[in-house]
A and B are shown apart, each in its own frame.
Chain A
Amino acid sequence: MANKIRVATTSLAGCFGCHMSFLDIDERMLQLAEVVEFDRSPITDIEHCTNCDIGLIEGGVCNSENVHVLREFRNNCKILVAVGACAINGGLPAMRNHIPLEECLNEAYLDGIGVENPKIPSDIELPLLLDQVHPIHEIVKIDYYLPGCPPSADVFWKFLTDLIEGREPSLPYELVHYD
């Protein structure tokens, strides 16, 4: 089919739980595939997104690469969606915001229980950590939000079918959860 709706997805400072929940739409994925084509996404392994209709962002922003990826999505997606608690408020990773970054690194790589060959990773390929984790609406404009940890498969389905069928997306009470 020509002119399929192009969807890109990514996980920034997330756990891929939202992506797993998206896959829980199960056989409805086949229905979706009739009208949707995946661009950049862990599902396709395409590395950069181009001219997409919908971008789904899981996770907040914790390092410099997250910022670049988020901006690439904003520049290439007509509609950008914050998916899940971490994208919306930083979530679990943002609980480090009260601890100085050096202390976090020391705990994880030097002083933590069971650490072998203690050394803070410093490979030039590694993106630099930000001092705090931020929700994505603090970096770029976000068009829609899907709360939940993770949002249920039905949330993804309701939202995407609303958009695809030309309705203003809305979530009824039963589908709005922050946990």
Chain B
Amino acid sequence: MSKTITIDGKVIPFEEGQTIMDAAMAAGVYIPHLCHQPEFTPHGSCKLCTVKVNGRNCSACTFPAADGQDVLNHTEELIEDRKKITQMLFVEGNHFCPSCEKTGNCQLQAVAYHLNMLDNHFPLFYPDREVDASHDEVMVDHNRCIFCTLCVRASHEKDGKDVFAISGRGIHKHLIVNAESGLLKDTDVAATDQAAHICPTGAILIKRTGYQVPIGQRIYDHQQIDQVSLATEHPKHGE
């Protein structure tokens, strides 16, 4: 007999080695996430996928599924926790959607929309962060980085380049690039790299492409991230 967990009472089968996130997404159950992409090693840093497993909070993207687990996902308490986490992500950086070319295609914004986040709740940090526009084709706007490390993992695991890394701790944590000058132009990053396309926010952008699709016709302008995520990350559940 195959092994199962329950998520919000629904029985979900899983295979040995799958995480709760893997099992949920394969069964068409969306668990909000930003730092997770199924093709990369899970990192468990954004905490948006926090679920309650047998009464304890765990990150669904890193926690292994085990037979008989009772998982709570879509509860009022967890939705409220996720909204607070998203608000913290917003106030820690400088996320000014009206002046960001990623607006409408941004997963951070889309998760916030999905959670019906209408305000920031916390005082804003307005941290001083740099923009690195030195490279001909790719730019990094550190104001919008949420340290999900997707670019770090993509560059290492897919592009085989190690262009990006995270340095510093706590509030001093920041994204660095693999060049003595600290500038993107002196790395071997290319616009064709997966790392240049994986950013869930507007922190890593391909130059001269930002407004090819008008605002109002973008991914999340009419579709919620749960539908998009299930359709693109686990296509068999898409429309």
Which residues of A are interface residues toward B (Cβ below 8 A)?
82, 85, 88-92, 94-95, 97-98, 132, 134-135, 137-138, 142, 144-147, 149, 170-171, 173-174, 176-179
Contact = CB atoms under 8 A, between A and B. Distances in A.
A137 B63 CA distance: 37
Contacts of B90: 89
A170 to B, nearest CB: 8
B76 interface: no
Contacts of A171: 116, 118
A149 B98 contact: yes
Contacts of A138: 123-124
A88 to B, nearest CB: 6
B120 A137 contact: yes
Contacts of A145: 118-119
Q: Is the interface of B mostly helix, strand, loop or mixed?
A: loop
Q: How large is the interface on B (under 10, 10 to 19, 20 to 34, 35 or more residues)?
A: 20 to 34
Interface string B87-127: 00010001111111001100001001110101111011010
Nearest to B104: A179
30 contacts: A82-B119, A85-B97, A85-B98, A88-B119, A88-B120, A89-B90, A89-B96, A89-B120, A89-B124, A92-B96, A94-B96, A94-B124, A95-B96, A98-B126, A134-B124, A135-B120, A144-B118, A146-B118, A147-B118, A147-B119, A149-B97, A173-B113, A173-B114, A173-B224, A177-B221, A178-B109, A179-B100, A179-B103, A179-B104, A179-B215
Q: Is the interface of A mostly helix, strand, loop or mixed?
A: mixed
Interface of B: 90, 94-100, 103-104, 109, 112-114, 116, 118-121, 123-124, 126, 128, 215, 221-222, 224
Given A132-B126, A179-B104, 9 more contacts: A97-B126, A137-B119, A138-B123, A171-B116, A171-B118, A174-B222, A176-B118, A177-B113, A178-B103
A145 B119 CA distance: 6
A146 B118 CA distance: 7
Contact of B112 (A132, A137, A178): A178
Q: Which of B95, B116, B215 has the most CB of A within 10 A?
A: B116
A178 B126 contact: no
A89 B224 CA distance: 23
B126 A85 contact: no
Q: Ordered nearest first, which 4 A-B pairs have the shortest CB separation?
A: A178-B97, A149-B98, A145-B119, A179-B103
B64 to A, nearest CB: 33
Nearest to A88: B119
Contacts of A137: 119-121
Contacts of B123: 138
Given A135-B124, A176-B113, A178-B109, A142 B98 contact: no
B96 A91 contact: yes
A97 to B, nearest CB: 4
